[in-house]
Amino acid sequence: MKTLSIIILSLIVGLAAGFLLTVQTSQAQTPSTTEQLVIPFQKVQPKENPMDRIPEKAITVYKDRIVLDIQNAQWSTFTDTHSMEPVIFQGANALQLVPKSEDEIKVGDIVSYKSEYTDGTIIHRVVYKGEDEQGTYFVMKGDNLPTSDPGRIRFSQIQRVVVAIVY
């Protein structure tokens, strides 16, 4: 009965998530066998991801530590605004770099910037990059917010770009 309950629970979770599921089944007098059930993926829209800024050769894993060879990295912590949850939350740590040009910022990146509409530094995701009569601008949005931030953000307002988040 316990095996049947686990199988049913696994199927429910698998159906909700819509992924390939491997289920362990057993019969009373035969050894366990593994069956593979294919559950089709739900249609999802791909999202822009942050630029990969740390090459594999810059990451070294030892038994007692991990070394990231990132030049000029700055360490950051976050206040509890909930705007970037579940990616960033209070207690998470990040490594950030100062971008040299607007070409180093792409849609999907998470950046720290100064806004004309509020005090302090805002850390949100770039959701659009465009051009107007003043040059390149960016539109930002918190992952957990329903709408984008007000105004067009210029490169001069961007302070840093997140290259790693440590939980």
pLDDT tens-place string over residues 111-130: 999 999 888 899 999 999 99
Q: Is pLDDT above 80 for 109?
A: yes
Cα 2 from Cα 139, distance rounded (Å) = 52
pTM here? 0.72
* Average pLDDT of span 144-160: 97
Cα 98 from Cα 112, distance rounded (Å) = 10
Domains and CATH numbers, the chain: 2-37 (no CATH), 56-166 (2.10.109.10)
pLDDT at 5: 39
pLDDT at 103: 96
pLDDT at 63: 97
Amino acid identity of 109? D
Could you tell me the pLDDT band of residue 2, with boundaries at 50, 70 and 90? very low
Residue 75 sits at the vertex; the CA angle it makes with 73 and 80, to the nearest 5 degrees, is 145
pLDDT at 23: 36
pLDDT at 36: 64
* Average pLDDT of span 129-143: 98
**For residue range 47-66, what is the model confidence (pLDDT) as tens digits?**
889 999 999 999 999 999 99
Contact 86, 80 (CB under 8 A): no
Residue 159 CB coordination number (10 Å): 16
Using alpha carbons, list the distances in angstroms from residue 154 to 10, 42, 132: 48, 37, 11
Q: How far apart are the first and last CA of the chain?
A: 38
Could you tell me the pLDDT band of residue 46, with boundaries at 50, 70 and 90? confident
Strand partners, 35: 23
